Amino acid sequence: MKLYKNLVNAVAQILQEIFTKNRYADKAIEWQFKNNPQWGSRDRKFIAEGVYDIVRNFRLYSELAESKNNFWFITAVWLVNKNIQLPDWAEFKHVNSAAILDHKSRLEKNLPVYHSYPDWLWEMGEAELGKDLWQEEAISMNKLAPVFLRANTLKTNRIKLLEALMNDNIQTEIVTNTKDAVKLVKRENVFQSRLFKEGWFEVQDAGSQLITEFLDPQPGDLVIDACAGAGGKSLHMAALMQNKGKIISMDVEAWKLDELKKRARRAGVSTIETRVIQNSETIAALQKKADKVLLDVPCSGTGVIKRNPDTKWKLSKEGIEATKEIQKNILNNYSKMIKPGGYLVYSTCSILPSENNLQTSAFLSNHSDYSLVKEKTILPHEGFDGFYMALLKRNA
């Protein structure tokens, strides 16, 4: 393929934004695209795929480049690994492709480097999951994540959605063992689709959809989505409830709830009320009110590294420990909103047991009025993002 210097330079610039200014990959890419509207779809695809592949394999590529901040050289290493012929540019004159590939072969047995994970995270993964399972998940999370959609059953069903997308030359397939999920056969910018703008679907991982199904909200229920964010699961619950009942979507970030309001209008949802969590009184006012509560708590995000590969480089051991304390506090305090006989789902997008079943076990050991109904773990190698979910009942 023919390379263009401005596009290669854009990849290097975005990497600099990510690794020296600590910007999120998607935001750094979006900023570049916004400032270069002349780029076509092929240009954007080259840049986005290049950035994400380098971020995903940053430790390996920087080791091969013998530098963590020479982003042009690191980009050259990526091109060599992709078997792309390097042009005769001054920036590439010191690149020895044969030496890079030889060096790579000698790193195969150094698993944290070869698969590009921090040593501490590799060690934590092995300690919590065991060496074999962690290695399987670590390798799986270095693959490109598929794109899943959720049919909005307030406006359509997934058979009609699949057919309508097909008419727009967007191929999808039904995801078995889910109620409303479909999978893109190839990656598309579906946000420009008229069907998206008309609220026929949302982009949502199939595993995330299973969490809402796990809670099983019913028409007429009062449901609280206590860590709602921008509300993907709130919207799914509204659809499962046939837009009947009430959903209180809560978060500490007002801007996320503002985004939920926009999405709700597009989806035709009228049963969602948003509330910003300002202090403990916000939670206390809802004590024993809810039929069902969803606690999709903050977590390490180790289950979504496939989708957000820069997570590997933004995490820290200390940060995960602090997050586990937040999880514990949310579970202890927010569970009070469930009425006796009601149900709670505790969920994370982590694959670490210390954030998952060990948290629910600790909670149950200290709260005799709750019992475990069922729990489920989804691992990335199974095809979706990684999630944990536990359904708890508050006994009458």
Q: Which residues are catalytic?
A: 349
d(CA 11, CA 45): 11
Alpha carbons 304 and 312: distance in angstroms, whole number: 10
Output the CA–CA distances (angstroms, integers) from residue 375 to 133, 260, 270, 358, in the order listed. Answer: 19, 28, 31, 12
For residues 137 and 167, give the distance between their C-alpha atoms in angstroms, rounded to a whole number: 37
Asked if residue 133 lies in contact with residue 118, where contact means CB atoms within 8 angstroms, the answer is no
Q: How far apart are CA 334 and CA 282, in angstroms?
A: 10
CA-based nearest residue to 389, from 344, 327, 326, 354 = 344
CB count, 10 Å around CB of 258?
Answer: 12
How many angstroms separate the CA atoms of 196 and 34, rounded?
Answer: 21
CA angle 7, 187, 238 (to 5 degrees): 125
Question: CA 230 to CA 251: how far, in whole Å?
Answer: 9
